[in-house]
Chains A and B, each alone.
Chain A
Amino acid sequence: MIKKVRSHVSQNEPLIFEVSSPGKAAYQLPALDVPAVAPEAALGGENVRADIEGFPEVSEVEAVRHFTRLSTHNYAIDYGLYPLGSCTMKYNPRLNEVVARLDGLAWIHPYQPDELTQGALEILARLEAALAEITGMDAVTLQPAAGAHGELTGLLLIRAALSARGNPRKKVLIPDSAHGTNPATVTMAGYVCENIASNDRGMVDVEALARAVDEDVAALMVTNPNTLGVFEVNIHRIAEILHAKGAMVYMDGANMNALTGIARPGDFGVDVMHLNLHKTFSTPHGGGGPGAGPVAVKRHLEPFLPVPRLVRGGQGWRWDYDRPQSIGRVRAFYGNFGVLVRALAYILAHGAEGLRQATLDAILNATYVRKRLEAYYELPHQEPTMHECVFSDSRQARHGVRTMDIAKRLIDYGFHPYTVSFPLIVPGAMMIEPTETESKQELDLFIDALISIAREAEENPELVKTAPHSTRVRRVDEVTAARKPVLRWRPDPAF
């Protein structure tokens, strides 16, 4: 029995430009009590304009209602389960928000001198230490603003270290199950990307890897557990193969939610990795930002970390810019500070035992989803999975229903879709990551919805293929949007 359908009111909302009428404003200024100055005289004529053409004019309540209504058009973790595989859409505890909003932290300015920001620096230092302990690495930079930014920083560190040895090398190897950002990062860092095929267990083919590693290889970029949610059980052997040829192991830490408190990349041969604080450490994903992608390294890469580095001296914490081998800054100031505060709050609120428990619960939840859905959806890889699982749409495809259709139909049941068509090594992939923050009740609602959709795919495939049916906007035409993009709104002349 499906209990949850959806919660939204169905009122459509025009663009704010369309509700604008001239002269409306959401403010009222008191009469001028000083002599008026011509803006042209004060600012220079070229900097002054009489009007901003097309600028929306609405009252305060209209502005509030417009954005409040729009906010209900969205789906969020605060509405319900958000099973977007590989994204770790866990609940963001309110405690994080309280701490980040403390006056002393919310109002701090990056230009304040070190002696007035010792508390903030201590937060950063403690977060660096905590992340180093969790990953088993020796040093951490908090500068990168997102996962892919961390990847680029990590590869630039590898390039700098290899260059210091005399040869930056040419290639970076990437398993075919990797995140799409990995090959992009490799190219950005000036390397050539080489694909390593997975074996039939969904893991890096160690023999193929051994054949591919030569003196031209700078590094392997590996995600562990990989995008199938499968732990690379040969990771020690993989690291040995790379290290024997003087190459390094980069780990994409996107899936650290499966390892935190249980296994440490620093203990299984990783030289450098990034973490996604907005995934594993419960900071908001925002609308694509701000995130944080700290990079953790082994001792031999520490001299190359971005400046400035946080160091403790007689006067307390200070920023050290004197690192001649550093790759330089990768971001203005010191990273997304508010996000870093939230991550430390999360880590300290959980403690070591709590972090470990969260990981175990994440694996338990994903395994529960997998076991209950195995009878209804094809599971192409039988290896044990950790924090996520990947089904294929092959059974439903016989009725013409593909992964995208099932995902769209999930919206009608009140859930955000899973990750569609990724990883690429599974045709018709349905990638599900429930995270640890979901109760059994919520998981059951979600599973029942997917079981119901599997039945619909057999009995009434058209219903699924034309979903969603209960949204304000029906299925959008992604093909035309991509082929003939309309990149800006223009006023309707008839309006």
Chain B
Amino acid sequence: MYPQEFRYTKEHEWVTVSGDIATIGITDYAQKELGDIVYVDLPRVGDAVVAGKTMGSVESVKAVSDIYSPVTGEVVEVNGALAEAPEKVNQDPHGEAWLVKVKLADPEEINRLLTAAEYQSYVEAVQR
């Protein structure tokens, strides 16, 4: 379910790193809990994001929820396709519906995040 090479947060974001670029999205569990997503509000290219701080929000029929950045750095690319097709977040949260790419200030930072196995057991615990 949760890709082994990704790292995860307790706020249900995922991150995967290639070189010093981190790709960030929300997890399958998050999209399921939110329900049908109708709008995604993302930072702009050039914006600074800080680990643990809000970087945007995702709106479903139920609620608007903050997206917390798992890492610190500068936004270098934003998934513009989500503006027209927010439903992609429901359809392919770990792939096509990545949210932003961030140039990492500290590539070591992601080692502090949850592994796939840790996230899996966290989600199971949340669901009881």
Among residues of B, the one whose C-beta sits closest to the C-beta of A484 is B38
Tell me whether B62 and A479 are in contact (CB under 8 A): no
Give the residue of A394, A420, A483 whose beta carbon is less than 8 angstroms from that of B62: A420
On whether the beta carbons of A483 and B86 are closer than 8 Å, the reply is: yes
Compute how far the CA of A404 lies from the CA of B34 in the bound complex, rounded to whole angstroms: 13
Q: Are B63 and A479 in contact (CB under 8 A)?
A: no
Q: Is A231 an interface residue (CB 8 A)?
A: no
In the complex the two chains form, is A421's CB within 8 Å of B33's CB? Answer: no
B36 within 8 A of A: yes
A397 to B: closest C-beta gap in Å:
10
Counting CB contacts under 8 A, is B87 at the interface? Answer: yes
Distance, CA A482 to CA B62, complexed state (A): 11
Task: Report the minimal beta-carbon distance from A64 to chain B, rounded to whole angstroms.
Answer: 36
Q: Complex: how many Å from CA A478 to CA B60? A: 10
A289 at the interface (CB under 8 A from B): no
A-facing residues in B1-47 (Cβ within 8 Å): 33, 36, 38-39
One digit per residue, 1 when the CB lies within 8 angstroms of any chain A CB and 0 when it does not, for chain B 102-114 equals 0000000000000
Contact string against A for B residues 77-115, beta-carbon threshold 8 Å, 1 for contact and 0 otherwise? 000000000110000000000000000000000000000
Interface size class of A (residues with CB under 8 A): 10 to 19
- The size class of the interface chain B forms with chain A is 10 to 19
Tell me if B65 is interfacial: C-beta within 8 Å of chain A: yes
Task: Say yes or no: B33 contacts A483, CB within 8 Å.
Answer: no
Determine how close the nearest CB of chain A comes to the CB of B14; give it in whole angstroms. 20
- Residue from A394, A421, A424, A483 whose CB has the most chain B CB atoms within 10 Å: A483
**Is A482's CB under 8 angstroms from B65's CB?**
no
- Does chain A have a CB within 8 A of B61? yes
Q: How far is the CB of A227 from chain B (nearest CB, A)?
A: 13
Residues of B within 8 A of A422 (CB): 63
Q: Kindly report which residue of chain B lies nearest to residue A183, judged by CB atoms.
A: B66
Does A384 sit within 8 A of B, measured CB to CB?
no
A427 is an interface residue with CB less than 8 A from chain B: yes
Per-position binary interface string of chain A over residues 391-408, scored 1 when its CB falls under 8 Å from any chain B CB and 0 otherwise: 000100000000010000
Chain B, residues 45-69, CB within 8 Å of chain A (1/0): the string is 0000000000000010111110000
Complex Cα spacing A420 to B61, Å: 11
Which residues of chain A (106-156) have a CB below 8 Å from chain B? Answer: none
Q: Find residues 322-343 in chain A having any chain B CB closer than 8 Å to their own CB.
A: none
B38 touches A421 (CB 8 A): no
User: Closest residue of chain B to A378, judged by CB?
Assistant: B128
CB distance from B61 to the nearest CB of A (A): 5
On chain A, the residues within 8 Å of B39 by CB distance are 482-483
**Are B38 and A483 in contact (CB-based, < 8 A)?**
yes
CA distance A25 to B64 in the complex (A): 46
| B33 / chain A contacts, CB cutoff of 8 Å | 427
Residues in A whose Cβ lies below 8 Å from that of B63 = 180, 421-422, 424
Nearest CB of B to A400, in Å: 13
- The CA-CA distance from A478 to B38 in the complex, in Å, is 9
A427 to B59, CA, bound (A): 16
Residues of A within 8 A of B36 (CB): 478-479
Contact between A421 and B87 (Cβ–Cβ < 8 Å)?
no
Q: A478 and B65: CB pair below 8 A?
A: no
* Cβ–Cβ < 8 Å partners of A180 in chain B: 63-64
Q: Which residues of B contact A483 (CB under 8 A)?
A: 38-39, 86-87
Tell whether, in the assembled complex, residue B62 and residue A421 are in contact, meaning their CB atoms are under 8 Å apart.
yes
Which of B's residues lie within 8 Å of A, judged by CB?
A: 33, 36, 38-39, 59, 61-65, 86-87, 128
Using a CB–CB distance below 8 Å, which chain A residues touch chain B? 180, 394, 404, 420-422, 424, 427, 478-479, 482-483
A-B contact pairs, 24 of them (CB 8 A): A180-B63, A180-B64, A394-B128, A404-B62, A420-B62, A421-B62, A421-B63, A422-B63, A424-B63, A424-B65, A427-B33, A478-B36, A478-B61, A479-B36, A479-B38, A479-B61, A482-B38, A482-B39, A482-B59, A482-B61, A483-B38, A483-B39, A483-B86, A483-B87
Cβ-closest 6 pairs across A and B? A482-B38, A479-B36, A421-B62, A478-B61, A483-B38, A479-B61
Known: A180-B63, A404-B62. 14 other contacts (CB 8 A): A180-B64, A420-B62, A421-B62, A422-B63, A424-B63, A427-B33, A478-B36, A479-B36, A479-B61, A482-B38, A482-B39, A482-B59, A482-B61, A483-B86
